[in-house]
Structure 1
Amino acid sequence: MTAGADFEALRPVGERVEQDLSELAGIRAPESGGWTRTVFSEPYRASRDWVRRRMREAGLDVRLDGAGNVVGVLPGLDPAAPALVTGSHTDTVESGGRFDGVVGVLGALETVRLLRERGIRLRRDLLVVDFLGEESNDFGLSCLGSRALAGELTASDLDRRDAAGMRLGERYAGFGLEPDGVLGSAAAFARHRLAGYVELHVEQGPVLEERGVGLGVVTAIAGIERLLATFRGRADHAGTMPMGDRRDALVAAAEAVLAVRRTACGAPVHGVATTSRLVAEPGSPNVVPAAVRMHAEMRSVDTGWLSSAQLRLAEEIRELAGRSGVDVEIDWSRDNERRPVSADVHEVIAGVAGSLGEPWLPVPSGATHDAVHLARLCPMGMIFVPSRGGRSHCPEEWTDLPDIETGIRVLAGTLLRLDQPRDTL
């Protein structure tokens, strides 16, 4: 049977998806709370072995590419036709949840099973990918696997060091990946001509649940600007130096934390900002802090606001620090630019949802995804399913199985539609 078959008949087997979710959730660091499979860890290695076995059982040709991505290929009828890509990631943040990224990988696997069980052959190859290390890490760089495939991972990135002084290139090597192979993976992947990328993901926010809608069709993925502010004051005896004579770096940093929050609260459309860490020195209870490193980030799908807010925030932090007699150095780094989805792919996803009778909302994504980097290679779109209470990156993260099943149905239908010649879409 060809891919022109009726996608409305492709119904996920809920018990099978639930079993996959349960088994993968069982692979985690036992000493950590929640679900922890951070990149380069042993639990992460074990989970990727599990994914490869599941891919083979689903009938995919499985390989590990030079960037460390697990890639399963479902061959199509026309090897010359540009391929379709779907997937997500299975690494987690520390003490994270069971659904972030995982739903996209397992949803893609279930789609392959449904196609094979119904004897449906796609015209194009279908690539199912579990991308390496999507979550942010100790090297300050997210989406390692997809970033490498897009040619956005550089030799200087491999020289980034974590808090223990280890280079990123060394971590790759310790995980069995050659750094030169990681950098060369973009050229190898470029041999695939790509027709489109579709990612199923949990929303990680409250909008869908609050609106009582089971599907989100993503409009754009937020740009992310990361801030490192280094405050330099003066160490003094905490018991003898009068309050008015102090140059307290931590007081200046605390005011900067509030400035970060104020800036995001003033966003006209979509903007968020978070201070995630303060590191004070010397850290003694009887010494006025002499230096503080503050890590923060800003996100928005509104590039104009994000750019101007950066400038305003930097000026305010400098002014506040000056009032405390503290010097400050401000460094910005871009994790990713705002990325709109493909209008064509968005239209196909919405059309499939409509054909299935599923209400949907257009929603922006405040979280980054591997889709950001795949968009450099082909048209990209994303499907969201609700997150209970909008909770994510925590043990309470939850998405109901019926919502996951709906997302898989829309994913499968979208891939079938995208498999058709363009003039028939």
Structure 2
Amino acid sequence: MSERLMRGPLLHCLGEPDKDANAVDYQLDALLWIKHGLVHKMGDYDSMVKELTPKQVSRVEDCSQYLMVPGFVDCHIHYPQTEMIAAYGTQLLEWLNTYTFPVESSFKDPVKAAAVSKVFIEQLLTNGTTTALVFCSVHPESVDALFTEAQKHNMRIIAGKVMMDRNAPDKVLDTAQTSYEQSKQLIQRWHGVDRLQYAVTPRFAPTSTDEQLAAAGRLLAEHDGVYLHTHLAENADEIEWVKRLFPKAKNYLDVYDQASLLGKRSVFAHSLHLCDSECERLAQTDSAIAHCPTSNMFIGSGLFPMQKMQQHGIKIGMGTDVGGGTSFNMLQTLADGYKMQQLNGHNLSPEQSFYLATLGGARALDIDDKIGNFVVGKEADFLLLDPNATDLLRFRTSHCEGWRDLLFVLQTLGDDRVIAQTNVMGVSN
């Protein structure tokens, strides 16, 4: 479909609400004009309709019962963990050994990897996620399967094979050399193909030797535009383990810094327990944090100090962190994010939450020139949200006073039923 014309309420961010009172653009009666998968024009319907021919006017889609918003950006998620979502009863390190490693060991089988990839991509689209930064398993087959499935839907997916050469079962280990060689081959095969991009992916410091982390740094240096995706300071026991494994490092982040892994396309999931010097270094290097509130509460890792990170000027995006997170749905993730900040004594506004799941996520991934809002020329990844998706929502939203109230109610009471339509490059999926 080379052209679509859609009329209805529209909401997006032009900046960060916590820093700019005029960051949110809400239009009650907007026209979204899409050509060849990109935003051609967007604005007030009465003003823009004069530019349309009678034939075009007849093709305008009535979206007045919905809210048009940009597609959600998930900055941290594990696709091999789809089948173990909602696993009971452990914290991080025991959880990895009990559930994660046994499940991930099966992804050497390309048939298994393809089957789970299909379910995973379907769940992303069902829940309104159009861009995601994804952990695969240690097996190259897992990456090939995910990218192949994502390519069918023209999705913007950033992913990579896990690099892990110690402190895990043999079936999920590689070596410093094989991880370098396999990652390099995958970068050459997939990075920059259609809307796919590659992330160099050491799981976390305890499962990589100095040699392997150095190999990850070489991959970043040798391939322009690839990402670094890993975990940082998620769990207190993990941090103590890192201190024992890397006694020469100043702190957890310094382990990665010594391997040249920080930068504007480096995304560190969780980052719950950072000292000021770590925060300052993240900001200095333009690195980003993926905040995963649902997972942090489910695995009992701690409370994310959002205001502290904002004060340091660190880029932040939202992550569901399936399967530590218990939902693919970004609305539910934002609800948990609000509750977490309440426990921190901070009222996270609905517009700042929305920013973190859209434009903020795009900025964290260094692709805000391509996605994140409806600015002309950007890729038309967007959603139709249904405020009447459930009986309770229909009743509650009828009492909303303005877009801010509506947005908070959708974030608090919404789930996948609110996602009436997910559009990727202007095409409904």
Bigger RCO of structures 1 and 2 (CA < 8 A, at least 6 apart): 1
Question: Is TM > 0.5 for Structure 1 vs Structure 2?
Answer: no
Greater C-alpha radius of gyration: 1
TM range (shorter): under 0.3
Q: TM-score, normalised by structure 1?
A: 0.27
